[in-house]
């Protein structure tokens, strides 16, 4: 599957623009992680891009979410490594995270929300001037974007990242697609 095919499928299955932006942001971070770790950039990027493709189809039912997503990804041509990462990013199913891709997707997913929230409280609401250290501060403020799971982001340690460098990589990756994110 090409990236375009993955994106077309997302647009066919997801109406919420913010959800699409979340998946684009996850893709950008996953690509940056793959490059840094010497992994397959397309595989990691497309996994990030597709990971919540079923969110609207499953209407938020966490018992189905990501099972359907993994099936849809397989139908599109994703390999089992990619499908597994999508499946286990929802902990409800109790499927352990085994591969580096599984672990990377799990910690990259919530990082997008923290960075978007940090950009939106800036006077210009733009990513361009956002510094990683300010996101780091927001990370420590538990009341800021309280829905963002800090423990989940901290699992970046399982793919060999310190929190600070992980946040920095995420900020830089998302800056690279700021226009697509409307930020």
Residue 109 C-beta: closest distance to Fe ion, Å: 4
The smaller minimum CB distance to Fe ion, of residues 52 and 54, is found at 52
The smaller minimum CB distance to Fe ion, of residues 22 and 138, is found at 22
- Long-range contacts: 146-154, Cβ < 8 Å, 24+? 147/113, 148/110, 148/113, 148/114, 148/117, 149/110, 152/106, 152/107, 152/109, 152/110, 153/107, 153/110, 153/111, 153/114, 154/107
The smaller minimum CB distance to Fe ion, of residues 27 and 109, is found at 109
Binding piece for Fe ion, criterion CB under 5 A, among 39-47, 52-60, 130-138, 167-175? 52-60
102 binds Fe ion (CB under 5 A): no
Number of residues lying near Fe ion (CB under 5 A): 2
From 52, 67, 87, 135, residue interacting with Fe ion (rule: CB under 5 A): 52
- The footprint of Fe ion (CB under 5 A) covers 52, 109
């Amino acid at each position: 599957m090409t990236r375009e095919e993955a994106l077309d499928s997302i647009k066919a299955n997801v109406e919420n623009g913010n959800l699409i932006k979340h998946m684009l942001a996850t893709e950008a971070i996953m690509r940056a992680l793959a490059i840094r770790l010497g992994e397959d950039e397309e595989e990691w990027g497309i996994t990030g891009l597709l990971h919540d493709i079923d969110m609207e189809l499953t209407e938020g039912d966490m018992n189905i979410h990501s099972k359907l997503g993994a099936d849809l990804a397989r139908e599109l041509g994703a390999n089992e490594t990619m499908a597994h990462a999508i499946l286990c990013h929802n902990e409800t199913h109790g499927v352990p995270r085994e591969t580096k891709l599984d672990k990377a997707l799990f910690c990259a997913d919530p990082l997008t929300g923290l960075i978007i929230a940090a950009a939106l409280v800036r006077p210009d609401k733009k990513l361009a001037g956002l510094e990683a250290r300010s996101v780091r501060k927001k990370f420590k403020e538990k009341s800021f974007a309280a829905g963002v799971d800090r423990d989940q982001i901290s699992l970046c340690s399982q793919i060999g990242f310190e929190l600070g460098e992980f946040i920095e990589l995420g900020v830089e990756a998302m800056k690279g697609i700021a226009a697509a994110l409307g930020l």
